[in-house]
Amino acid sequence: MGKPLVAILSGAGISTDSGIPDYRGPNGLWRRDPGAEKLVTYDAYMADPEVRRASWQLRREVGALAAQPNAAHRAVAALEHSGVAVRVLTQNVDGLHQLAGVSERKVLELHGTARAVTCTRCHARSPMAEALDRVAAGEADPACRACGGVLKAAVVMFGERLDPVVLGQAMAVAKGCTVFIAVGTTLQVQPAASLAGIAADGGARLIIVNADPTPYDDQAAEVIREPIGTALPALLARLTSEA
């Protein structure tokens, strides 16, 4: 991998304009329904079929697979297409960066993807849409068709570790970039949040675009509190002209 110029760490805030609620904001999912956190906690999910059934129903109702990229996602794709070296490190599982046109190989999904399911026993992967079709057809808790094991979204649940290979690649990007933009993330969930500090320590220009303060604001060269849908496109257009 060549030395990247711009690394973009994206959190839930970049996708709220696409209709996907964030988790920890004032109107976040965990604040509105603290019980919802149990639906994405590994031990609870594995131990209780009722939790699994509720989790599948929530995925159907939220309709994340129907979400479309917004202006911020498109601006990141436009930055890559302009010829600037870009790597996207995302805490999101919605796949909207790729849908917007960012090359798959330039996106590291730190927390996995909600667009696929994986078997907890044999690790077979299949499309989320296929599993949701089975739920819609009456299978409240669809099992793996290969081995009968418990299926789960291919996301990192609470109580699971991040993929060490993906995390290692993300740390290498943070160390090697010249500009690191953290957008729509509270920078409170480790180890992903530490990437901002790694970048700043490595001499990168740290820019934070987020509605609320973060623990890394004092290390940032620039902190932007404007709405992401307009602030990020403006910032990336400025970086493109500088490049």
Q: What is the 3-state secondary structure (H, E, C) of the chain?
A: CCCCCEEEEECHHHCHHHCCCCCCCCCCHHHHCHHHHHHHEHHHHHHCHHHHHHHHHHHHHHCHHHCCCCHHHHHHHHHHHCCCCEEEEECCCCCHHHHHCCCHHHEEECCEEEEEEEECCCCCEEEHHHHHHHHHCCCCCCECCCCCCEEEEEECCECCCCCHHHHHHHHHHHHHCCEEEEECCCCCCCCCCHHHHHHHHCCCEEEEECCCCCCCHHHCCEEECCCHHHHHHHHHHHHHHHC
Distance CA 86, CA 8 (A): 8
Q: Which residue has the higher pLDDT, 23 or 15?
A: 15
* pLDDT, tens digit (0-9, with 9 covering 90-100), for 35-93: 777 888 999 999 999 999 999 998 888 777 889 999 999 999 999 999 999 999 999 99
- 127-173 pLDDT, tens digit per residue, is 999 999 999 999 999 999 999 999 999 999 999 999 999 999 999 99
Q: What is the pTM of this model?
A: 0.90
The verdict on whether 97 is a catalytic residue reads no
Q: Which band of pLDDT confidence, cut at 50, 70 and 90, is reported for residue 100?
A: very high
Quick one: pLDDT at residue 3? 46
* pLDDT (0 to 100) of residue 63: 74
* Residue 33: per-residue pLDDT: 63
Q: Is the pLDDT of residue 185 over 80?
A: yes
Residue 116 — very low, low, confident or very high, per pLDDT cuts 50/70/90?
very high
- pLDDT of the residue at 25: 53
73, 97, 111, 123: which is the annotated catalytic residue? Answer: 111
d(CA 109, CA 173): 13
What pLDDT band is residue 242 in, cutting at 50, 70 and 90? confident
Cα 5 from Cα 131, distance rounded (Å): 39
Residue 1 is predicted with a pLDDT of 43
CATH numbers and ranges of domains, the chain: 1-20+69-111+161-243 (3.40.50.1220), 22-66+114-155 (3.30.1600.10)
**Which tens digit of pLDDT belongs to each residue from 186-219?**
999 889 999 999 999 999 999 999 999 999 999 9
